Amino acid sequence: MDPKIVDHLFRHQYGKMVAILTKVFGLTHLETIEDAVQDTFVKASLQWRTQIPDKPEAWLMSAAKNRMIDLLRKLKAEHLRLEKLTSGAAAIQLNELFLDHEVEDSQLRMIFVACHPDLSPEEQIAFSLKTISGFSMREIAAALLIKEETIKKRLSRARKTIVKKEIRFDYPAPEEVNTRMAGVMQVIYLIFNEGFHSTKADQLVSKDLCGEAIRLCRLLLKKERFRSGSLYALFSLLCFHASRLESKVSADNQIVNLEHQDRSKWYLPLIVLGNDALAKSAEYEDWSSYHYEAAIAREHVQAIRYENTDWEKILELYQKLYELYPTDSTLLSIGNVYLLLGQWEKAKQVLDSIPDDGLHQRKYLLHGSFAEYYYKTGDLGQAIEQIDAAIKLCTNELEKNYLLEKRAKWERQ
């Protein structure tokens, strides 16, 4: 059996399984539920070596439910309730909770539990990535650019707060929806970014993570009460970026930059979905950074050739994004656009304004931009020095190879 099959199912089923089991057994047993789901995937990886069941998703859900009951029995918890759950009419009701629409409802409830105001923003993000999308500690640490030990502490605090505050497995009150949705969208955005620009050493993209973020976004858009201009704009942004996934890496597993990507590989149905969602976002009063990011992504996907890209328009959109939501990564993008427009002085001014530690684990990108500046302004020595600094700091092997190839090309000239 290909281990990628279990990994794929883990990505797509973990959150569903945790959510529905939480609806059945309650948030007080969340840690036991997560253990039951982990145990189920271990069992699947062993039992499926020779043959995968006809309905693997159903097998996983049933096995997780049975494992959860076993664990609670061992803990001698809720003994009478368990007897009722496993026999008679209550058992029929329990099985009905595992129908698709119930699973979706449970996942939506879990999303809002994760973004409850009694949890700090840092705890919300870590808890969501772990519970909804099945990130490992290492993956969460990489996505948030912090230590694994810090993530462990945040998850522990989040679980304790849920029990102490008796947070309910339910939807927020109408007046709380907008506040809670801001956290939800941030988490979805982070999940997608980790898939689109992976921090793993040997992988540039993870289609499963990108797909998971899009799925969660669509799940929310199904409910009218959660729809907003920002949510539609976020969905649009994810669609535009996901449409280019097939062209980001070559057949020999090398990075292909935007200029050289095969645009015939860009997936038109996703681009159409993105355009429709961005148009829909204009029907709502709220406005966010996702609107500008989606508009920038649209400029890229609607250009027939790289040479047709409207960089002046993209620069304007980045500047508006920075006014609304100033970040060092947006400043870096502005500096890179100035480089593409040949406005060297402005590019250098913007790059110099970015703090040395502002981009954290992405600091190598700043050195890469400085390398481009020096190369294009004729200072090869400084360009090589900066690209060497970028190579030293880069942890992704594909990106490192891309930079090494660029360095070798410059030296040959």
pLDDT of residue 88: 46
Average pLDDT, the chain: 87
Q: Interhelix angle for 380-393 vs 363-376, to 10°?
A: 160
What is the reported pLDDT for 58? 84
The tens digit of pLDDT for each residue in 357-404 reads 778 778 999 999 999 999 999 999 999 999 999 999 998 888 899 999
Mean pLDDT of 156-160: 94
Domain 326-413 superfamily per CATH:
Tetratricopeptide repeat domain (1.25.40.10)
d(CA 85, CA 105): 20
Mean pLDDT of 197-203: 65
State the Cα–Cα distance between residues 192 and 199, nearest whole angstrom.
12
What span, in angstroms and rounded, lies between the C-alpha atoms of 345 and 323?
21
Q: Which of 34-43, 70-79, 314-323 has the lowest mean pLDDT?
A: 70-79
Residues 22 and 169: beta-carbon distance below 8 Å:
yes
Burial per residue of 2-38, b for 16 or more beta-carbon CB atoms within 10 angstroms, e otherwise: eeeebeebbbbbbbbbbbbbbbbbebebbebbbebbb
Whether 92 shows a pLDDT value over 50: the answer reads no
Query: Does 247 score more than 70 pLDDT?
Result: yes
Q: Please tell me which of 40-49, 135-144, 159-168 the model is most confident about, judged by mean pLDDT.
A: 159-168
| pLDDT recorded at residue 89 | 42
Residue 240 tokens, joined: 């535009």
Q: Residue 2 pLDDT more than 80?
A: no
pLDDT(86) > 70 = no
Q: Where are the domains of the chain?
A: 1-98, 326-413
**In the numeric block, which tokens belong to residue 263?**
């645009």
Residue 97 has pLDDT above 60, yes or no: no
pLDDT of residue 220: 94
Higher confidence at residue 69 or residue 312? 312
pLDDT of residue 90: 42
Reported as a pLDDT band with limits 50, 70 and 90, residue 3 is: low
- How far is 28 from 19, CA to CA, in rounded Å? 13
- pLDDT for res 76: 57
Distance in angstroms (rounded) separating the CA atoms of residues 319 and 346: 13
Rounded Cα distance, 324 and 289, in Å: 7
Report the pLDDT averaged over residues 322-329. 95
CB atoms within 10 A of CB 312: 10
Q: How far is it, in rounded angstroms, from Cα 4 to Cα 8? A: 6
* Mean pLDDT across 218-233: 95
